[in-house]
Amino acid sequence: MSTPVIDVIAFPAAITITTVTFGGLSGALHATKRGLDPIGVFTISLLCAVGGGIIRDVLLQAGVPTFLVNPQYLGLAAVAAVIGFFLSGLVRLVVPLITVVDTLLIGSWVLLGSEKALAYHLGFSAAILMGVITANGGGLVRDLLCGEVPSMVKPGEWYGLIAIIAAFIFVGMVGVGLPIGVAEITTMVVAAALRIAAIRGRWHTPTAYDLWGNLEARMTAGVEESLRKRDETLRKNTQRFSDASRD
Amino acid sequence: MGSLLSTVDTSLTHAVSTTHVHMATTIDVLPTALPGWTQLAAVGVGAISGAAFAARRGFDVVGVLVLSVATGLGGLLLRDTLLQRGTSIVITDGRYLIIAALAAVIGFFFAGLVDRLEPVVVVLDALALGFLAAAGANAALAIQLPPVAAVFIGAATAAGGLVLRDLLAGIAPAIMRPGVLIAAAAFIGALVFTLLVVYTGIPRGQAQVIVVVVVFAIRVLAVRLQWRTRPARDLTDRIWDRWLVKPKKPVLPPILEPEPIPPSSVSTFSLPPDWDDTATFTRPPHWRSNDDDERDPS
């Protein structure tokens, strides 16, 4: 199978702008909650909006990152920061809206990364990696700068996992040879559906499962001991992050 | 197959050219009015403060070295990484790393001396801040990025080292917390440089000197007057009260001032002189009480 190559990055600008704006708003709210100063709120807002894109562009060595070439992104982040700084009460009112838009647009983050990787003649795995990094990079940098364990690596929310699945779907569909528009829409719909299901069903990402220890316990002590050991591991893993996850 | 590849290639160049800025492959050296060692000195000052920071927090040899390099060179490294114009100057020019290593040695052995000389370090840091802000903004303008991006790059160059230092030290970056005014000074410096270069067209070297002076003044004033940055203030309720909801005020009659009573007409009351405080009241027999009816219907 030949490397999937797409010719032009054909992604609606309106969706890109919406994605970036709502990323910036959620970042500004996050920073305001932690009591940062104006520069901090702007930085976090900007990095939530375009942080994934910065990492993507630096890794792709694709010239100056997009947000520096198109200053509209800086402007959007600044507006989001000002709104978050002075009108955090208003932003808190529209948190459900932000959540819904985030849910619907998780696929578009992945597309922003994967399409650019494919446009630069990279292979499957690189395109998947770029999609995942673009989707998670903003939150990762945000948590690092706030001095927290990145929510991407903490057990809990189904966000990174959905990004991985969406990247696989998109790159797979493009690789099979489907039109790019179909692949885009399918990815976005599947990602949004997965995210909604994860939120509604309270899905929890699994932590490491000690298969060897469980087999050993099952052979020596029986099923009860094995189940007890599994519960203990789960509790330990949950407890390890419970302090850091407190907001 | 060949035709397919060729179509892909041409369209790809189109796609790529929309995101690329075609310019020289190296960042122009700042045509500065200041001598060439000033950038090295600016880096060295940041590196010394980073090394002293690490030594104070009990990092080991490698930790002091790494934090010294990160604090001193982090800003320029961040700038060159974001601008994507070849290998960063802090790596191609070996003097930068040597300066940072020397700073690490000073910080490792003389952290106490550096602490005692704190006013000097603050002054030198303030000078370096303005210098780096101008250097960053200049590099962005040299590859013809928009002015807004130049302001951002300038502020990131000046403050990036501090952010990197705190990240490596495992604490939340201090310049983003409410407190001393450093990042805002860097931002103002980059803004002033960009405005001067883009709108007045004065030589960049002179603009840089002006920015160094401005940022130095801001920093010194901030330290002297203890200016501090503030956390977010929620103005929603105030705006809501002011503009969005206008409660209808009931129209009340005007409150009239009571007419002053002439002193002559003020009645005075006094008890009679033979008033007995201890006297008890007994009802005369012809008075009737309220519950007499129930008790005695006759």
Cβ–Cβ of B172/A39 closer than 8 Å?
no
Q: What is the pLDDT, as a whole number, of residue A66?
A: 87
C-alpha angle A41-B224-A145 in degrees, rounded to nearest 5: 20
Cβ–Cβ of A62/B232 closer than 8 Å?
no
Q: What are the tens digits of pLDDT across the range A137-196?
A: 999 999 999 988 888 888 778 888 999 999 999 999 999 988 888 999 999 999 999 999
Residues 157-216 of A with CB under 8 A from B: none
Pseudo-torsion of CA A115, A117, A121, A126, nearest 10°?
A: -120
Give Cβ neighbours of residue B251 (< 8 Å, ≥ 6 apart). Answer: none
Residues of A in contact with B16 (CB under 8 A): 62-63, 119-120
Give Cβ neighbours of residue A210 (< 8 Å, ≥ 6 apart). Answer: A229, A230, A233
Which chain A residue shows the shortest CA-CA distance from B8? A7
Instruction: For residue A38, give its domain range.
Output: 13-200
B25 at A interface, C-beta within 8 A: no
With respect to residue A3, please indicate whether it lies within any of the assigned structural domains: no
To the nearest whole Å, the CA of A189 is away from the closest chain B CA by 26
Q: What's the total number of domains in chain A?
A: 2
A46, containing H or E segment: helix A38-60
**In which residue are the tokens 């966000």 written?**
A159
Which chain B residue shows the shortest CA-CA distance from A41? B176
A82 at B interface, C-beta within 8 A: no
Give Cβ neighbours of residue A50 (< 8 Å, ≥ 6 apart). Answer: A20, A23, A65, A66, A67, A73, A77, A138
With respect to residue B24, please indicate whether it lies within any of the assigned structural domains: no
Closest partner CB to A62 (pick from B19, B143, B175): B19
Question: What does the DSSP assignment read for A110-171?
Answer: HHHHHHHHHHTT--HHHHHHHHHHHHHHHHHHHHHHTTS--TTTSSS-SSHHHHHHHHHHHH
Mean residue pLDDT of chain B comes to 81
Closest partner CB to A38 (pick from B145, B147, B229): B229
β-sheet bridge partners, residue B180:
B228
Which chain B residue shows the shortest CA-CA distance from A46? B152
Residue B249 has pLDDT above 80, yes or no: no
SS3 A16: helix
β-sheet bridge partners, residue B228:
B180
C-alpha angle B47-B145-A135 in degrees, rounded to nearest 5: 80
With respect to residue A25, please indicate whether it lies within any of the assigned structural domains: yes
d(CA A1, CA A3): 7
Q: How far is CA A60 from CA A5, A126, B147, B279, in A?
A: 15, 10, 24, 106
Amino acid in the structure at residue B47: A
Based on the fold, state whether residues A226 and A113 are members of the same structural domain: no
Instruction: For residue B187, give its domain range.
Output: 32-225
Q: Which of B89, B93, B63 is nearest to B77 (CA)?
A: B89
Residue B108 has pLDDT above 80, yes or no: yes
Q: What ipTM did this prediction achieve?
A: 0.78
Which chain B residue shows the shortest CA-CA distance from A89? B236
Higher-pLDDT residue of B213, B296:
B213
Q: What's the total number of domains in chain B?
A: 1
With respect to residue B246, please indicate whether it lies within any of the assigned structural domains: no
Q: How confident is the model at residue B22 (pLDDT cuts 50, 70, 90)?
A: very low
d(CA A233, CA A231): 5
Highest mean pLDDT among B10-14, B175-179, B248-252: B175-179
SS3 A1: coil
Q: What are the tens digits of pLDDT across the range B46-94?
A: 999 999 999 988 898 999 999 999 999 999 999 999 998 888 888 888 8
With respect to residue A144, please indicate whether it lies within any of the assigned structural domains: yes
Residues of B in contact with A60 (CB under 8 A): none
Based on the fold, state whether residues A121 and A158 are members of the same structural domain: yes
With respect to residue B179, please indicate whether it lies within any of the assigned structural domains: yes
Closest partner CB to B12 (pick from A7, A35, A86): A7
Tokens, residue B2? 């060949």
Based on the fold, state whether residues A143 and A223 are members of the same structural domain: no
Based on the fold, state whether residues A215 and A184 are members of the same structural domain: no
Based on the fold, state whether residues A153 and A216 are members of the same structural domain: no
Q: What is the pLDDT, as a whole number, of residue A247?
A: 44
B24 at A interface, C-beta within 8 A: no
Residues of B in contact with A58 (CB under 8 A): 81-82, 84
Based on the fold, state whether residues A98 and A182 are members of the same structural domain: yes
Q: How confident is the model at residue B248 (pLDDT cuts 50, 70, 90)?
A: confident
Residue B25 has pLDDT above 80, yes or no: no
Residues of B in contact with A82 (CB under 8 A): none
Q: What is the pLDDT, as a whole number, of residue A63?
A: 84
Tokens, residue B142? 């040299």
Q: What is the pLDDT, as a whole number, of residue A90?
A: 84
To the nearest whole Å, the CA of A64 is away from the closest chain B CA by 5
Which chain B residue shows the shortest CA-CA distance from A146? B172
Residues of B in contact with A44 (CB under 8 A): 176
Residue B237 has pLDDT above 80, yes or no: no
With respect to residue A36, please indicate whether it lies within any of the assigned structural domains: yes
Mean pLDDT value across residues A79-103: 87
With respect to residue B10, please indicate whether it lies within any of the assigned structural domains: no
Based on the fold, state whether residues A93 and A168 are members of the same structural domain: yes
Based on the fold, state whether residues A219 and A132 are members of the same structural domain: no
